[in-house]
Structure 1
Amino acid sequence: MTFSSKLMVAGFSCMLTTATFAAEKISIMVAGIEKQIYLPVKLAEQLGYFAESGLDIEFLTDRNGNNAETELLSGSVQGVVGFYDHTINLQARGKLVKSVIQLTQTPGEALLVSEKASKEITSIAQLKGNSVGVTGLGSSTYTIFRFLAQKSGLKRSAINVLPVGAGDNFIAALMQGRIQAGISTEPTISRLTSTGRAKILLDLRGIKETRAAFGGSYPAACLYMPNAWIVSHRSEVQKIVTALGKALAYIQTHSAQEISEQMPVEFFANDKENYVLALKNGKEMYTADGIMPEGGPSTVLSVLQDFDKNVQGKSINLQNTFTNEFASSTMKCN
């Protein structure tokens, strides 16, 4: 389901004057704005940080990161809040985009197995012959699962990978038995585990678990934009990054309960207590300052090179997939 929230107010940020001007509308696609991995976006909006920027920003949402990428390439949006791995994949296809702020330092996901299937499936290798759900084919959940499966010795043909979406759609697929396992994010993870409907086979919310799975930091949620647009709209990019940076700082200095109080009630899926629990369990995934974790790009590249035919054999310049410039300026302002 796609919805948008629009905000048009004049104000200021640390790099702006308070002069009123006719700003061009900036459209940003979020790959599932209600997902906690992308919480800093809605939190920044709720706290008025985007309003302070004076920008005319439209946030759109589509739970499939691949669809968000398509919208960017078509020019329909100027940025995507999705996973960093898209910047590498796109460069391999001749499209230059950069992460301008890194929101999470772990995938913030978990590989879940249904309660019924958990009696026989206790490891990734035992998923052989079963159906596994991902957000969409070619999505970041697909990328991560394919890597984990290959690492466990499972051939592509040994598992039926199905695109089942996220949230309620993912839960329905698991409960109906269309999939026996799948990768999802919070608050879906806690909605399933807190009620005993699913168990965690592999937890990728924490830093320690992520490093063990991938061999290093695995930067995930970020805001990425076309290089050309970044160069021609440096002031706008800085304002957007500043707003998101303030949200990251708020997360570091407030409890899960306090953060949840700022979020729209529809994000709670009729269970605010579970939403707070999910945020408490996954809070470690957020970066403190929006800076790319050291060594993170290399880890993601090695994952993609293991199985992604778009990336294999291609020369990738990782320095052209991200920049810390805007996040560093935000730190100085704050």
Structure 2
Amino acid sequence: MTRTLLNRRSFTLLAAAAVAVPALRAQGRPEKSRLSIAVGGKAAFYYLPLTIAEQLGYFKAEGIEVEISDFAGGAKALQALVGGSADVVSGAYEHTINMQSKNQFIESIVLMGRAPQIAMGVSVKSLPNYKGLADLRGKKIGVTAPGSSTNMVANLVLSRAGIKATEVSYVGVGTSAGALTAMRSGQIDAMSNIDPVMTMLEQKGDVRIISDTRTLKGTQEVFGGPMPAACFYTQVDFVKANPNTCQGLANAIVRGLKWLQTAGPSDIIKTVPESYLLGDRALYLASFNKVREALALDGVMPEEGARTALKALASFDPSIKPEKIDLSRTFTNDFARRAKEKYKA
């Protein structure tokens, strides 16, 4: 009798295990075990989830070796994807809309930022008597790279004051020490950039902030709704041919986002490369606290956010016709939802 019960119990446990194993292995091996990722300004908080996933070995845990190429701005990273030298880009979501308007289809597969984290400031030295946006006509405005999301935000802010992009000069200054130098040396009169650069300039009294999307509240004020920011995007054909690889990438990022939700200042300092601190650990951490809520929570793209992005782009770029853009083809939440399920609390 006892033996029968044991046998039945053993059989039940074995059967359960047999069911569980395929479920655990359901994702399958990545189709590409080595990937080239392009990013425009990797040291910025905008791309912190990418750095965390890389530094903590989350890509390797998914069976993927990543080679990350860092460019001066998001527009350059996009060029790498289009030119075929990168498989995936860690960049701004709105590029998927811009490219579709040119009949080229790229798709976001996991969201890293739920606010752009871009601040626009005027030089206290160059424009000490600044009174309003009209004062920027004919001035030089620093952006990470022409055509990048920092350029997009500047265009949007200026357009609301009736200033066209052709009425100012945009200068690519990158996202780190070069940007600080450009502002402090007087090479530019204003700047649209990301943290930690903008907080460093702000706290040292070099700039006066005139537009700020580093918080959810500020983003709502500038865009009128949630505005998705950094994501992994790639060619639609790549997603179709490499679903397991895309799932692995999404898993790594969502795991990184999960880690960031509970990470303290000392955890961040220990994890990011020393060069990211730009020589000022305290200001770096002050910057992180300012943008922390802008990081995505679970990698899922909000549909309302996609609509906000389209509306914003169309408001100053006449080449983008909202009625001709199919937002459902600019992102997929399939991978993020599976990753969210895998790493749920």
TM-score between both structures, scaled by the size of structure 2: 0.87
- Paired position in structure 1 for 2:282: 273
Distance 1:62 1:15, change over 3 A: farther
- Paired position in structure 2 for 1:235: 244
Distance 1:23 1:164, change over 3 A: closer
- Paired position in structure 1 for 2:228: 219
The partner residue of 1:33 within 22, 34, 42 is 42
Which residues of 2 match residues 182-197 of structure 1 at below 5 A?
A: 182-197=191-206
The CA RMSD measured in Å over matched residues stands at 2.1
Whose helix fraction is larger, Structure 1's or Structure 2's? 2
Query: 1:283-326: CA deviations, max 9, x gaps?
Result: 01101101113411111111111222432476000000011111
Give the conservation status (yes or no) of the 8 Å contact 1:33–1:39.
yes
Query: 1:249-269: CA deviations, max 9, x gaps?
Result: 111112233223211111111
Gaps of 5+ in 1: 1-13
**2:136 pairs with 1:136:** no
Gaps of 5+ in 2: 1-22
Shift of 1:166: 2.6
Percentage of matched positions with identical amino acids: 31
Query: 1:233-274: CA deviations, max 9, x gaps?
Result: 100110111010011011111223322321111111111121
The partner residue of 2:116 within 104, 107, 126 is 107
SS at match of 2:46: helix
- Paired position in structure 2 for 1:248: 257
Give the conservation status (yes or no) of the 8 Å contact 1:257–1:276.
no
Shift of 1:159: 2.4
**2:69 pairs with 1:60:** yes
CA distance in 1 between partners of 2:30 and 2:167 (Å): 58
Q: For residue 63 of structure 2, what is the amino acid of its counterpart?
A: G
- Paired position in structure 1 for 2:180: 171
SS at match of 1:280: helix
Q: Which range moved further: 197-206 or 38-47?
A: 197-206
CA distance in 2 between partners of 1:321 and 1:184 (Å): 25
Shift of 1:94: 1.2
Between Structure 1 and Structure 2, whose CA radius of gyration is higher?
Answer: 2
Distance 1:56 1:16, change over 3 A: farther
Distance 1:24 1:106, change over 3 A: same
Q: For residue 109 of structure 1, what is the amino acid of its counterpart?
A: I
Question: How many pairs are equivalent?
Answer: 321
CA distance in 2 between partners of 1:245 and 1:220 (Å): 15
**2:100 pairs with 1:91:** yes
Give the conservation status (yes or no) of the 8 Å contact 1:118–1:199.
no
TM-score between both structures, scaled by the size of structure 1: 0.90
